[in-house]
Amino acid sequence: MNLANLRENYTKGGIRVADMHPDPYIQLKDWLKIAAHSGILEPNAMSLATSNSRGRISIRTVLLKGLEDHSLQFFTNYHSRKARDIAQNSHAAINFLWKDLERQICLRGTVEKTSRETSETYFKTRPYQSQIGAWVSERQSEEVPVRAVLEKREKQLMEKFPEGTEIPCPEFWGGFNFKPTHVEFWQGREGRLHDRIRYRQDADGWIIERLSP
Query: Could you confirm whether 139 is annotated as catalytic?
Result: no
DSSP class of residue 100 equals G
Catalytic residue among 192, 196, 200, 210: 192
Q: In 10 A of CB 213, how many CB atoms?
A: 12
Inter-residue contact 106 to 186 (CB < 8 Å): yes
Q: Which residues contact 145 (CB under 8 A, 6 or more apart)?
A: none
Instruction: Encode burial over 118-133: b for 16+ CB neighbours within 10 A, e otherwise.
Output: bbeebbeebeeeebbe
Cite the beta strand spans of the chain per DSSP E: 45-51, 57-63, 66-68, 71-77, 91-98, 103-113, 173-187, 195-202, 205-211
Sequence-distant (6+) residues with CB within 8 A of 61 are 45, 46, 47, 48
Catalytic residues, by residue number, are 192
